A and B are shown apart, each in its own frame.
Chain A
Amino acid sequence: MNILEADSDRLLAAVRSLLEKKGIVSTAEVQERMAVTDAASPGQGARMVAKAWVDPAYRALMLEDGTKAAESLGIMMRGMPPLGVLENTAELHNLVVCTLCSCYPRAVLGYPPFWYKSASFRARAVRDPRGLLASEWKTIVPDAVKVRVVDSTADYRWMVLPVRPVGTDGWDEARLAGIVREGDMIGVTVPGV
């Protein structure tokens, strides 16, 4: 059989049964991983951001060790690359890109949006981030704010902790999490109310 021409479902079944037979990966482990993948979505990252906005100790943990911060909210990080968190401030705006491929913090943000993998986004993000954000997302970074492009080239995965928008005083975590979008945690947009 030519493996390149095999029907993909049959090929997957064959590989899975071989992995099981050879004691490399059990069916239970595959199912656990499928459950983790299904649970991963921007909503997970949004929960972390909202908690960081209301809980200074959690914010400190998140900036120190994103993986521990995610795990403390019950997000499965086993087998995932370490998670780093980049804090936006009044002086600094972070933008995440992977120019070499499509590294993305999937455990906390789920699948990357289609444009994240495009050659155009990757090239423009490093060369002209301000122009890119303004033309594609209407995100204007003021001149006084430094733009820091984080090229995710190796073993870490990066997410942005955006600035809590004004007009959200007294909001609880669930309500705050509701305004945090995927793009806010990549750095192409900023949350607002």
Chain B
Amino acid sequence: MFVAGDTVRVKDEWPEAVGPVHIRTPWYVRGLEGQVVRCLGDFPNPEDLAFARPAERRPLYHVRFRKGAIWPEAKPDDELLVEIFGHWLERP
């Protein structure tokens, strides 16, 4: 779905506002753009696994964000590297 170097945006979605969920996408990157570093492989979707539902395997990506894009006071070129499932990513 995505390859190393792709610019991606984390979906600005807040399913926890609707009902009980188990999600592995931190709040602080939602709606922000980052870059795919690599695909880490396919893993059972934790959003289903946590509720003992059949969990489809989904690609997991290592995505890099510039610190300056998240917190204005940060040293801009410092980075954050976060594992994010493909279904949380979109092309900007």
Interface residues of chain A, those whose CB is within 8 Å of chain B, are 82, 84, 99-100, 126-130, 143, 146-156
CB distance from B49 to the nearest CB of A (A): 10
Which residue of A has the minimal Cβ distance to B78?
A: A147
CB distance from B8 to the nearest CB of A (A): 15
Q: A130-B75, A150-B80 are in contact. List 14 more A-B contacts (CB 8 A).
A: A99-B26, A99-B28, A126-B26, A127-B71, A127-B74, A128-B73, A130-B78, A147-B67, A147-B75, A147-B79, A151-B82, A153-B26, A153-B82, A155-B60
**CB–CB B41/A154 < 8 A:** no
The residues of A that contact B75 with a CB separation of less than 8 Å are: 130, 143, 147
Interface residues of chain B, those whose CB is within 8 Å of chain A, are 24-26, 28, 40-41, 43, 46, 60, 67, 71, 73-75, 77-85
**CB–CB B80/A149 < 8 A:** yes
Q: How far is the CA of A152 from the CA of B67 in the complex (A)?
A: 16
Q: Knowing A82-B41, A152-B83, say if A126 contacts B28 (CB, 8 Å).
A: yes
Q: How far is the CA of A150 from the CA of B84 in the complex (A)?
A: 12
Which residue of A has the minimal Cβ distance to B85?
A: A154
Among B46, B67, B73: residue with most chain A CB under 10 A: B67
Q: Knowing A99-B26, A154-B24, A155-B40, say if A129 contacts B78 (CB, 8 Å).
A: yes
The residues of A that contact B83 with a CB separation of less than 8 Å are: 151-156
Q: How far is the CA of A128 from the CA of B40 in the complex (A)?
A: 27
The residues of B that contact A149 with a CB separation of less than 8 Å are: 67, 78-81
Among B24, B28, B60, B80: residue with most chain A CB under 10 A: B80
Q: How far is the CA of A147 from the CA of B73 in the complex (A)?
A: 14
Q: How far is the CA of A151 from the CA of B25 in the complex (A)?
A: 10
Q: How far is the CA of A130 from the CA of B79 in the complex (A)?
A: 12
Which residue of B has the minimal Cβ distance to A123?
A: B28
**CB–CB A100/B24 < 8 A:** yes
